[in-house]
Amino acid sequence: MSEARKAVCLLSGGLDSSTCLAYASKQGYDCYALSFDYGQRHRIELEAAAKIAASLGAKKHLIVRIDPRLFEGSALTTGPEVPKSRSGDEIGKEIPVTYVPARNTVFLAHGLAWAEVLGAGDIFLGVNAIDYSGYPDCRQEFINAFEQMANLAIKASVEGRLRIRIHTPLITMSKAEIVKLGALLGLEFRLTHSCYDPDASGRPCGRCDSCLLRRKGFREAGIQDPLEYLA
């Protein structure tokens, strides 16, 4: 029996990255989940990530700290307040204040280092370019450029032992399609956390971009979201 292939799966604890991890696991990969503590206001997502990694049978889950001074000024860290109550139609028209400088570049760079250490050629990332917030580092052309760079960067690739592939299975899906896929894969939605600005007990606000997109997705998928929103 041949050994399962290893994959590094970036996991925020949100709906998309959790569905992505469930997908990679279903494909038969041994999954190594990687989460980041970068001083985000919604740190409860790290607890969610740990529970999801365990529930989906990840071989290992690493939470890596990133110096938050690098990300100063984003609404997700030290910047202005997370905006609320935009209509669904307003989302995605411009890059919002919740953008975090070079976040996916930094995350994928860490994922690449761990992938080489593990001997994992496959990196899964739950980015989505349809029902999303307009971040430039969620687009396919960024992912392609990162993959190309990655294969020039590491010893294992240059020596021909490892070909790095960045998998983004959700990138062209709507949020409703992601919800349906998650349901199909048996993802425990109650463990996932999407809100940018939860209260102290972790309850989602229901009004930030991320909550609005999630609720719209569940509604359109015709599936009940088990989370209880504050508003």
Residues that bind a second copy (CB under 8 A): 62, 64-65, 67, 69-73, 95, 99, 101-106, 108-110, 112-114, 116-117, 135-137, 139, 141-142, 145-146, 148-150, 152-155, 157-159
Between 46 and 113, name the residue whose CB sits nearer to a second copy.
113
Which residues neighbour 95 within 8 Å (Cβ) at sequence distance 6 or greater?
Answer: 133, 134, 135, 136
Question: For residue 190, how many C-alpha atoms fall within 13 Å in the half-sphere facing its CB?
Answer: 2
Q: How far is the CB of 44 from a second copy (least distance, A)?
A: 21
The dihedral sign for the CA sequence 102, 105, 108, 114:
negative
Between 23 and 107, name the residue whose CB sits nearer to a second copy.
107
C-beta separation of 123 from 165 below 8 A: yes
C-beta separation of 48 from 136 below 8 A: no
Of the candidates 56, 16, 41, the one whose C-alpha atom is nearest the C-alpha of residue 204 is 41
Q: How far is the CB of 41 from a second copy (least distance, A)?
A: 17
C-beta separation of 47 from 40 below 8 A: no
Between 113 and 130, name the residue whose CB sits nearer to a second copy.
113
> If residue 65 lies in a helix (H) or strand (E), which one and from where to where?
strand 60-65
Of the candidates 125, 102, 100, 101, the one whose C-alpha atom is nearest the C-alpha of residue 112 is 125
Q: How far is the CB of 28 from a second copy (least distance, A)?
A: 25
Between 60 and 86, name the residue whose CB sits nearer to a second copy.
60
Give the Cα separation of 231 and 217 in Å (integer).
17
Q: How far is the CB of 125 from a second copy (least distance, A)?
A: 13
Give the Cα separation of 45 and 8 in Å (integer).
19
Q: How far is the CB of 95 from a second copy (least distance, A)?
A: 5
Between 41 and 61, name the residue whose CB sits nearer to a second copy.
61
Between 79 and 202, name the residue whose CB sits nearer to a second copy.
79
Q: How far is the CB of 85 from a second copy (least distance, A)?
A: 23
Residue 212 has which token pair? 């609005």
